[in-house]
Homo-oligomer: A and B are copies of this chain.
Amino acid sequence: MANPIAGPEIERLIQLLARLPGLGPRSARRAALHLLRKREELLAPLADAMAVAREKIVICEVCGNADTCQPCTICRDPSRDPGLLIVVETVGDLWALERAAAVRAKYHVLGGTLSPLDGVGPKELNLSSLVARCVEDGVTEVILAVNATVDGQTTAHYVTDLQSHRGIKTTRLAHGVPVGGELDYLDEGTLAAALRSRTDF
């Protein structure tokens, strides 16, 4: 134990905080001390919020989103086009696209990417429910919003092959220059893609 003098309760809090992404042993210690200093303003509400999250938040059986209702708010939303389905890897990607607020579509969270080396095959992802949804909901367009990584693109090709015989239009996110980005800092692949997909000004 690195810090036995602080007592097992504090030590346990530090060890658990250190397992959060972005926190290591040292920053977890700082976070624990901060929590102990701000006991009523931060420690108490955070403990309550975690207990509430643990109890109330469920994974939507339709799309895989995390929410407090089943099915989730997005799946229940009648103002969204049920024919337009955005396929994402994770709930975090879904949230990122919702913040962009560009399309009133529904989502399907795969829960990862195909990665044979890590033992992630088609059965480990939400793929069979995706096929079922496309048929039941009369989906006309699937937007593949997977990451532009090798695993992401492999998964995108697999999803496309699944849908190919159903005549459902499949699209992917555009490649190009990030808004506000500087050309000098971009890689050649992105610049080449941005040139190939140039639009009228």
Contacts and interface: CB of A to CB of B under 8 A. Distances in A.
Interface of A: 2-3, 5-7, 9-10, 12-13, 16-17, 19-23, 27, 29-36, 38-39, 42-47, 49-54, 56-57, 66-68, 73-74, 90-92, 95, 98-99
Q: Tell me the dominant secondary structure on chain A's binding face.
A: helix
Contact of A3 (B13, B39, B95): B95
B43 A54 contact: yes
A67 B20 contact: no
A35 to B, nearest CB: 7
A17 B33 contact: no
8 contacts: A5-B95, A12-B52, A19-B38, A22-B27, A23-B31, A32-B53, A43-B54, A44-B54
B35 A53 contact: yes
Copies in the complex: 2
A30 to B, nearest CB: 5
Contacts of A5: 73-74, 95, 98
B66 A50 contact: no
A68 B8 CA distance: 9
Nearest to A13: B49
A6 B50 contact: no
Contacts of A95: 3, 5-6, 29
A19 B43 CA distance: 10
A19 B2 contact: no
A18 to B, nearest CB: 11
A21 B39 CA distance: 14
Contact of A2 (B12, B21, B99): B99
B17 A46 contact: yes
Nearest to A39: B54
A36 B17 CA distance: 14
A136 B133 CA distance: 76
